[in-house]
Every structure is written in structure tokens, then in C-alpha cells.
Chain A
Amino acid sequence: MKEPLVLGIESSCDETGVGIVRGTRLLANTVSSSMDEHVRFGGVIPEIASRAHLDAMVPTLAEALETAGVTLADVDALAVTSGPGLAGALMVGVCAAKALAVATGKPLYAINHLVAHVGVGLLDGGVYGGELPEDLGALLVSGGHTEVLRVRNIASDVELLGSTIDDAAGEAYDKVARLLGLGYPGGPAIDRLAKDGDPRAFRFPRGLTQPKYMGSPESPGPHRYDWSFSGLKTAVARCVEQHEAAGKPVPVADIAASFQEAVVDVVTSKAILACREHGLRNLLLGGGVAANSRLRELTAERCAAAGISLAVPPFSLCTDNGAMVAALAARVIMDGRSPSELSFAPDSSLPVTTVSA
């Protein structure tokens, strides 16, 4: 099929997304978020997200179809995030997508969420416009994931080079924001406050950067391109406690700036290292934390220094959405791959090597 009309559904975390694309052209990207319902908990509560998905699914679907000016009958194929993500949340999108497949008889593609974050780069106006460059790496940073990928063929050959071994970077932002009394979500709040602080005021740890984890290019250690943010969060907590115990005011802006610098420094240095050592000369930055001003700045700076071209999709395509699912599925279809069986199961820890189940 040359330019398939694809409807993609996303429900892996707290955004219910339905996107519609024709080949590489974006026709609709409708997102309903339950973020407001998680604020008082300081993080995404899976059951609350799942309940919200159930109620948002059909209205989001209807709105996306209307925006695109197409009907379900016009659609050539359906696509849905089958993982990774929150199991109960994935289930809602998968059941809705399967039901649409039964109702319409259209083929359904089960799509990998992480690879779909890269797939937005295929969209016209999605930075690469139709064709991904060779030697492509992707750095994905969000509240749910922190990964660096190598993309040889987005429809069939994707490899995980590194990832967080504990919290996602966005999760660390949320936890630290809570420590500093800044509310949820933590990313924007810390990013704002950090502008008034000194990033060198405190030297917070960069996880998994010791030689025993890094090894050498010839003999890589066990976590050369991996991250860990739990120690960083503990260090921030201790710093806050020390000020309180001494009866001194907590230097919130300095802590925010120093924390942000620690995250962004270690995220970018390891990602660039992975790119350099794998000959990746193009890097796509995606995920909700791609909106962070310091992350964008330092990634751009270090990419430039390493001779790597950097692409950052528009923010509405960086956060979780259905358009990325549809965009990737369209490419999978154009590559001539078969649709998924109706009996596939959502997989909360789907590996990136499975682009489409």
C-alpha cells in the first residue's frame, strides 16, 4: 500500500491518544490526559489512569476522526500501542483497537511505544519528513522511560543501547519536586526554578559513571550506556534534610538547578557516548522531558561538539500520542509487513526489538 490511512491508539500511561495519518502526513492528533487527576498523588496512579482511559477512549476517537475528516470505513489499517507501559492502561487501548478491528474488518498492527516515539520523526513536519536518516540514534526521556536506541530500520531493526535501571528521569523530577514542595508534574516546575539557581552549588552524583560500570570502548562495563537516578534522589533528600537540621533555609533554586544539571549532564553524556561509539551521526530527542530547556540546550551543545545532527520533534509529538503509533504503523505497512493476530496480548515490558507484534 502506497500511502495507507492509519488510525493509531495510545494508552500506555496517562494520555489517551488517537492519531490519524495518511502515509507520512499527519491528519489528526487528539490527546486526552488524566494528568490533573494524578496531581494530588504526586505521580501517575495506574488504576486512575486506566479508569480515565476507559472513559476518554470513544470521545477521543470520535474527535480524531472528525478532525481528520474521515470515517472508520475510510481507514486502511488500525494500530495500537501494545507495550511497554502500564498493564491495565495498555489493556484499554488494546481492547478498543481489537473491537474496532472486529467491527470494521480492518487489519490491526500492535505497535511498540518506544519505537513509535522515534516514528514521529517520519511525519512531514515531524523533523525528518518521510525518510529517517541512516546512522540514527534516539534518546527518549519521559516520566515513564529513559532510553537510548539505535535505529537501523524503524520497521524491523531497532536495538536498545542503554536505559535506566531504576527510575525514569521524569520520575526523578517528580520525586525531587515533591521533596522541594514544588508540586506535580515536577519537570516544568524544576526547569523554571533552576533558571534562578546555581547549577554548581551542589555536586550531586551522576549514577553509573564509575569505571567499574563504564569499562572502556574495547571492553564495555555492565552499564556503559545505562542510567540510575535513585541515588541522585537520595542525595537531594539528604541535602534538604541537612539544611533543615541546621535550621537554615533550604536553597530551593540552587538545589533544583544542581539536580537538573546532574540529570541532564549524565543523560546527555551517556547518550552522546553511545552515539559516538556506534557511529550514529543523527540523534532524535523524544519523550515528554524533551520539553526541558536545559536538556535541549545541553543535548544541542554536545551533539554539535560531537558532529551529531540533532532533531527534536514538536512538543505535541514528543509527549505520548496516537499519531506516533499511526506513523510507525504506516511505515510498517509500507514495508510490507503482516498485521498482528487478533489474539495478541499487551506486554508491559515489550522489548524494543519487537517493533510490531
Chain B
Amino acid sequence: MILLVIDTSAIASAAIIRWHEDEPWGAVLAQFATEDTKSHAEVLAPGIDALLLEQELSGSDIDRIVVGVGPGPFTGLRSGIATARALAFAWSTPLAGLMSLDAIAWDVLAGARPPASEFVVATDARRREVYWARYSARGVLLEGPHVAHPDALPALPVYGAGGGIYREKLEAADAVVVGEFESAQPTAASLGLAAVERLARGEELLDTAPRYLRESDAKVPGPRKRAL
């Protein structure tokens, strides 16, 4: 089975993953990821095009599309979901979502020193806030995703770029920023491997509704003040 995975919750990334349905792991055949968090609309489609070309795959070879549904900054997040939905429509390919922070949680568990305790994954939510979620030591999502000021996070090890950016505030709140992960972002490759694990366990993935976690900021104007 071939999966095309896309995530634009922070950086823009895509990956092609091969998976035998009775196994809880997959193989990343090809992937790309940007460093910046602002060029999604430019780079994503050419990036996916190049992956398909490199792997000599066409739409009919893709069995399933998985897209990160955030949380993430609105415009970037939508780029990936709009892309995934349009590809799925054009190819009539099944499409599902997965929470983007799960990608970093997967990296944490797969890393050299997986945590012995519960842990937190945090990414940059801008406006001095982080997107975060709490996981068990085995990587099961316990709480979140939320958006909050860093000082509201639990006193646990923090993985992800949100930790690096808000190190002082997190440490003041007794959280521990894990150095190796202080600039880690969700990637499509890891998200895809997390998806494979779920699917192998017989778990459902999510729909593709974006997890914005914030309202649109629009304010209903108050009644106009009348001149007296």
C-alpha cells in the first residue's frame, strides 16, 4: 500500500510511504521538507510533483492520502489541507487526517532516548503562544491539542520547536525543554509513520477538518454611538 502524506502545520512537507497492511511500520520511500514556515503555497505542489516523478508513481498508485490537520497557523495549515483534498478529489483516493503534533511524538518515541514519563509536544503558535499536547510515555495522546501561553504547560519534558522558542518561560514553569528536539517540527514522513501505526492497530484516523484552535479574530462591531 502506498501512502502520500502531507503536513503544513509549521513547515511544508510531504512523503511517500510504503506499508504492508499487517505490519505496524512503514518505509519512507521519498520525502521533502522546507525549513521555513511561509512558502507553503509555492513549494508544496512542485515538491509533491517531484516525489511522484522520482518514485515513478501516478495517481492511481496512491492508495491513501493522509494530511496533518494541525494545529498550526491558519494560512499555512490550509495550504496542505486544500492540496490534499484536491488531490483526493482528482484521484478519487481515500483521504484522512491526523493531528500534526503526533508526528513529533512519533519522532520522540523513535529517538535514541525515549522519555520515561509523560511528555509534552509543543510547536510555535505565534502571538507568544504554543500549540501543545500531552502524551503518555508510550506515545498515547492524553490531552490536547491546546493553544496556550507557555507558562500554562504542565511540568513535563517538552519536545518540539515550541520548547526552543519559549525555553525561559517553560523552565520558569518547571517544564524541561529537551535540547535535541528544541527546533523539531512536524514532518509528513513521521506523521505517515504514526498513521501506519494507528492503522495497523485498527484505529481510525481523523477527518480533514483543520484544527485551528483559535477563532477568526473577527469582532462584531458594537452599536454605533449616537451623538447626543
Contact = CB atoms under 8 A, between A and B. Distances in A.
Interface of A: 40-42, 45, 47-48, 50-51, 54, 57-58, 61-62, 72, 87-88, 91-92, 94-104, 178-179, 181, 240-242, 244-245, 341-346
Contacts of A54: 78, 81-82, 85, 210
B86 A57 contact: yes
B88 to A, nearest CB: 8
B112 interface: no
Contacts, number: 117
B127 interface: no
Contact of A95 (B82, B210, B217, B228): B82
Nearest to B49: A102
Contact of A41 (B82, B212, B221): B221
Nearest to B220: A40
Contact of B87 (A40, A42, A102): A102
A177 to B, nearest CB: 12
Contacts of B217: 47
A98 B96 CA distance: 20
B49 A95 contact: no
B56 interface: no
A178 B79 contact: no
B46 A95 contact: no
A104 B227 CA distance: 60
A92 B78 contact: yes
A270 B14 CA distance: 51
Contact of A100 (B86, B221, B224): B86
A176 to B, nearest CB: 12
Interface stretch (B21-29, B36-44, B139-147, B167-175): B36-44
Instruction: Say whether chain A's binding surface is mostly helix, strand, loop, or mixed.
Output: helix
Contacts of B226: 244
B90 A244 contact: no
Contact of B218 (A41, A72, A92, A104): A41
A245 B90 CA distance: 61
Interface residues of B, number: 39
Given A102-B49, A245-B228, A95 B87 contact: no
A103 B227 contact: no
Nearest to A241: B227
B216 A98 contact: no
A47 B218 contact: yes
A45 B218 contact: yes
Contacts of A57: 82, 85-86
B199 interface: no
Contact of A47 (B49, B74, B221): B74
B224 A179 contact: yes
B86 A99 contact: yes
A41 B220 CA distance: 5
Nearest to A47: B216
Contacts of A103: 59, 86-87, 90-91
A92 B82 contact: yes
A101 B45 contact: yes
Interface in B64-79: 74-75, 78-79
A232 B91 CA distance: 52
A241 B79 CA distance: 46
Contacts of A72: 90
Q: Which of B43, B44, B45, B217 has the most CB of A within 10 A?
A: B45
